[in-house]
Amino acid sequence: MTTFKAILFLFFLSLSINLTARNDGTTMAPILEKTKSLISYIEDEVNQEVVHAEMDILADTKTVFRSLQKGYTYQIIAYGDFRFKDIDVTVYRWNGDKWVMTVKDTENKDMAIVSIKPVTSSDYKIEVKAYKFNKGFDVGHYGLIICHEK
């Protein structure tokens, strides 16, 4: 586990906010609180710059397109609310003809983190996949954050 991944994993374990306070599935409050806390932690404690953040509902796969610049090491973090058992993220680079997989999360957790250091500035496709839900759920709110060193 990379240092960045280890730091964020420990942060999520220590998160003291009640993220399931209203767990009937009709509120974004848990993912909003998680996102707010995570962004503060990334910017203040890990000294990274957040360049993209989003939250949405996810039942299967969500695709985001983003230009990533040479010279930075990006951290791409996907995480779910209390309904997710496993969420994955896969990053593809456009090579002029097709999308080529660059990096993929393979851990079985409700948070996926991958790192990528583009050798050239290029367009990337980021897929967030709801791999497995906790029992009784088939949809949940997720968050996606992209950050890099300042």
Instruction: Report pLDDT digits (tens) over 94-122.
Output: 988 999 999 999 888 899 999 999 999 99
Report d(CA 113, CA 128) in Å as an integer: 11
Per-residue pLDDT averaged across 74-99, rounded? Answer: 95
Write down the pLDDT at residue 30: 87
Q: State the sign of the Cα–Cα–Cα–Cα dihedral 142, 143, 146, 150.
A: negative
Check whether 6 has a pLDDT greater than 90.
Answer: no
pTM greater than 0.75:
yes
Mean pLDDT, rounded, for 131-140: 95
Q: What's the confidence (pLDDT) of residue 12?
A: 60
pLDDT above 90: residue 7: no
Nearest CA to 59 among 87, 22, 98?
87
Residue 40, pLDDT score: 93
- The strands making up 99-104's β-sheet, listed across from edge to edge, are 61-68, 122-133, 84-94, 99-104
The tens digit of pLDDT for each residue in 9-43 reads: 556 655 544 444 455 557 888 899 899 999 999 99
DSSP state of 105: -
Predicted local distance difference test score (pLDDT) of residue 9: 59
What is the model's pLDDT at position 88?
A: 96
CA distance 54 to 52: 7
Q: Give the pair of three-digit tokens for residue 38.
A: 């995570």
What letter would DSSP give residue 134?
P
pLDDT, average across residues 52-71: 96
Sign of CA dihedral 109, 145, 61, 65: negative
